[in-house]
A and B are shown apart, each in its own frame.
Chain A
Amino acid sequence: MSNIKSAFYNKKAFIPFVTCGDPDLSITEKIVYEMADNGADLIELGIPFSDPVAEGVTIQKASKRALDNGTTTDKIFEMVMRIRKYTNIPLVFMTYANIVFSYGSEKFISAASDLNVDGLILPDVPYEESDEFSGICNKYNMDLISLIAPTSKERIAKIAKQAKGFVYCVSSLGVTGVRQKITTDLKSIITEIKANTNIPAAIGFGISTPEQAKNMAEIADGLIVGSAIVKLCEEYKENAPQYIGRYVKEMKKAII
């Protein structure tokens, strides 16, 4: 079983996100351990980009804080090397096309694969442009995660058919960030995804409360929480790991 598959095996997967390097990489490392120890099934490691067009204000600011303190792709790889001595939890990188492309796509993906990173999420690489990354990902046994949005409509089938790892189902229009309410008809989108693929589908964007988590877990195989966690980093800085640990525990409990 692939590592990503095991994250969804016989359970609803809770997938927390963290921006690497916010407030610094040693804290990010502690946050990952807290997440792993408190029930996270898969962790999304955000590699900060200077101009993240799919992110709302919370993650934009976190990316800026991380870059301002000198976080780089190489330093993040070194951190993952340390993390891998401690835990085998499934990990995926979330970043933007230029971070991978500029590093050298093959160099980046092979390095990530050597660190047993299981997947890659590139929100600015749609189906039409995915070949140049998915080919290399296949070669190194990494899953390039496909995203499906409320606007995807007739595109759902073709995206789902070639999807690997899990399908990232975007809950709402717009960018990442906490939302009071999610109004998209996610049930019918998930149904259509399921009609076209056997891999799990997780919902992300806008989820922050245990109640939302519970509702989403009824529809999907897993859920992704980003901005709500990044806000804890912003608020508690070097003390964030324990707060995030508690939050992950609470969210996981809501979907068991």
Chain B
Amino acid sequence: MKYGHFGEHGGMYIPETLMNAVIDLENAYNKLKSDKEFNDELNDLLNNYANRPSPLYFAKNMTEKLGGAKIYLKREDLNHTGSHKINNVLGQALLAKKMGKTRLIAETGAGQHGVATATAAALMGMECKIFMGAEDTARQALNVYRMKLLGAEVESVKSGTGTLKDAVSETMREWSCRIDDTHYVLGSVMGPHPFPMIVRDFQSVISKEIKEQIVKAENRLPNAVIACVGGGSNAIGAFYNFINDKNVELIGCEGAGKGIDTPDTAATIATGRLGIFHGMKSYFCQNEYGQIAPVYSISAGLDYPGIGPEHAYLYDTGRAEYVPVTDDEAVDAFYFLSQVEGIIPAIESAHAVAYGIKKAKSLDKNDIIVINLSGRGDKDCAAIARYKGEEIYE
């Protein structure tokens, strides 16, 4: 495989201005990833600050109600800041600090990654600026307030479609203006090499724990691991340590919006094709001339026209499967999990829950599935109420 690539995907398609920045980042990461002091410090933060390991919870009510496979939920929603994003952010912030950087910038869609980055910046005494699509600042007003409360500056990005892709573009532009003191904390397994590798490594703690926990509880591996996919960081984290366990099905759930036969979708594998964007070669929703499509999903975190290069590779090789889940299915699952288990999932994670419900029903009582509950849904309550036609005030 070509350096920095996953099959034909990946690479580093970025302006020359940023090349030395990503090369410096890779060198620093390669030096520190096996450094004991760095790992001790990171593990201490993960365990004592972010609340790791997160529980692998047996969803008894859900299992009984559906009457199929046993369902386990990986509770990334119980992490500090409410999602899996903190795993990667603590790693990158610590890495940036060791590199002598004093300022963190990041894009955010749903706001979870922005909140996690603002949190790490507050903790480590670093300056922080978050770029968020104008459309998303409206959908996720509470998270905007949280970021500001944590001391970050939040810039509402009005260019393009005012969503996650535009926030990524704007953060790249900002980084190319100011590199010396600034690290770009990319929030997903996307962008130029080495980001897809670094973010995957920091998120792979999820599957490392799932494996230990499921073996302890059931003395066997699950039949399937299911996670939602935007760029794909929680999914790659949940999949990574199972890639060599060929009997474990790996299933990524994409935001299909109003359906993959409509233009209002963000299901990249289902509707995209190979392209080059945001630093990587991968699959993208685009028109016949390569213009990136204005995608849509109810979930701000899945509202992205591409998918991380390692997912594209897992898809090409058939090792993982990617399925579209519509807004309606996700909202139903959002209600279902809230009412059956007393757990309000993030609307992103509800996409995985929706497919998990289908999958569990298709399996036998002796089978086991794990659904990665990547985040909690408090942030989504107002938006879901609006979706259901009820106006509530945050």
> Is there contact, CB below 8 Å, between B20 and A153?
yes
A53: Cβ under 8 A from any B Cβ: yes
Interface size class, chain A: 35 or more
A49: Cβ under 8 A from any B Cβ: yes
Q: Which of A60, A67, A149 contacts B16 (CB 8 A)?
A: A149
State which residues 218-251 of B face A: CB under 8 Å: none
> Is there contact, CB below 8 Å, between B15 and A149?
yes
B323: Cβ under 8 A from any A Cβ: no
Report which residue of A54, A74, A155 has the largest number of chain B beta carbons within 10 angstroms of its beta carbon: A54
Interface string of B292-329 (1 = CB under 8 A from A): 10000000000000000000000000000000000000
Asked whether A51 and B292 contact (CB < 8 A) given A102-B275, A102-B286, A174-B177, the answer is: yes
B156: Cβ under 8 A from any A Cβ: no
> Is there contact, CB below 8 Å, between A175 and B177?
yes
Interface string of A70-107 (1 = CB under 8 A from B): 00111000000000000000000000111111110000
CA distance A128 to B291 in the complex (A): 24
Chain A residues with Cβ below 8 Å from B286 are: 98, 102
> Is there contact, CB below 8 Å, between A155 and B13?
no
In chain B, what residue has the closest Cβ to A61?
Answer: B159
Asked whether A98 and B173 contact (CB < 8 A) given A51-B292, A129-B13, the answer is: no
B179: Cβ under 8 A from any A Cβ: yes
Closest approach, in angstroms, between the C-beta of A68 and any C-beta of chain B? 11
> Is there contact, CB below 8 Å, between A51 and B277?
yes
Closest approach, in angstroms, between the C-beta of A250 and any C-beta of chain B? 29
In chain B, what residue has the closest Cβ to A57?
Answer: B159
> Is there contact, CB below 8 Å, between A151 and B291?
no
Interface residue stretch chosen among A34-42, A118-126, A224-232: A118-126
CA distance A60 to B157 in the complex (A): 13
> Is there contact, CB below 8 Å, between B15 and A53?
yes
Q: Which of A57, A60, A96, A152 contacts B19 (CB 8 A)?
A: A152
B172: Cβ under 8 A from any A Cβ: yes
Interface size class, chain B: 35 or more
B34: Cβ under 8 A from any A Cβ: no
> Is there contact, CB below 8 Å, between B177 and A51?
no
In chain A, what residue has the closest Cβ to B18?
Answer: A151
> Is there contact, CB below 8 Å, between A97 and B16?
no
> Is there contact, CB below 8 Å, between A125 and B13?
yes
CA distance A193 to B11 in the complex (A): 26
Chain B residues with Cβ below 8 Å from A111 are: none
CA distance A234 to B172 in the complex (A): 25
Asked whether A53 and B17 contact (CB < 8 A) given A60-B159, A98-B276, A101-B275, the answer is: no
In chain B, what residue has the closest Cβ to A52?
Answer: B169
A198: Cβ under 8 A from any B Cβ: no
> Is there contact, CB below 8 Å, between B275 and A98?
yes
Chain B residues with Cβ below 8 Å from A155 are: 16, 19-20
> Is there contact, CB below 8 Å, between A103 and B15?
no
B99: Cβ under 8 A from any A Cβ: no
A137: Cβ under 8 A from any B Cβ: no
Q: Which of B11, B177, B279, B289 contacts A102 (CB 8 A)?
A: B289
In chain A, what residue has the closest Cβ to B174?
Answer: A174
Interface of B, secondary structure class, is: mixed
A147: Cβ under 8 A from any B Cβ: yes
> Is there contact, CB below 8 Å, between A152 and B275?
no
> Is there contact, CB below 8 Å, between A54 and B292?
no
Interface string of B271-297 (1 = CB under 8 A from A): 001111111010010101111100000
CA distance A53 to B171 in the complex (A): 9
Interface string of B251-286 (1 = CB under 8 A from A): 000000000000000000000011111110100101
Report which residue of B15, B160, B277, B286 has the largest number of chain A beta carbons within 10 angstroms of its beta carbon: B15
> Is there contact, CB below 8 Å, between B11 and A175?
no
> Is there contact, CB below 8 Å, between A173 and B176?
yes
CA distance A126 to B279 in the complex (A): 10
> Is there contact, CB below 8 Å, between B276 and A147?
no
Closest approach, in angstroms, between the C-beta of A201 and any C-beta of chain B? 14
> Is there contact, CB below 8 Å, between B177 and A173?
yes
> Is there contact, CB below 8 Å, between B19 and A151?
yes
CA distance A124 to B19 in the complex (A): 10
CA distance A102 to B288 in the complex (A): 7
Report which residue of B19, B166, B273, B292 has the largest number of chain A beta carbons within 10 angstroms of its beta carbon: B19
CA distance A128 to B173 in the complex (A): 20
Report which residue of B14, B178, B273 has the largest number of chain A beta carbons within 10 angstroms of its beta carbon: B14
Name A's B-contacting residues (CB within 8 A): 49-51, 53-54, 56-57, 60, 64, 67, 72-74, 96-103, 123-129, 147-153, 155, 159, 170, 173-175
Could you write out 16 A-B pairs with CB less than 8 Å apart?
A49-B291, A72-B289, A73-B289, A98-B284, A98-B292, A99-B289, A101-B281, A103-B290, A124-B13, A128-B11, A128-B19, A148-B16, A149-B15, A150-B17, A151-B17, A174-B176
The 3 closest A-B pairs by CB, nearest first: A102-B290, A174-B177, A149-B17
Name B's A-contacting residues (CB within 8 A): 4, 11-21, 159-160, 165-166, 169, 172-173, 176-179, 273-279, 281, 284, 286, 288-292
Other than the known A54-B17, A99-B290, A149-B17, what 10 A-B pairs have Cβ atoms closer than 8 Å? A51-B166, A54-B176, A98-B275, A102-B275, A126-B12, A126-B14, A148-B16, A155-B16, A173-B176, A174-B176
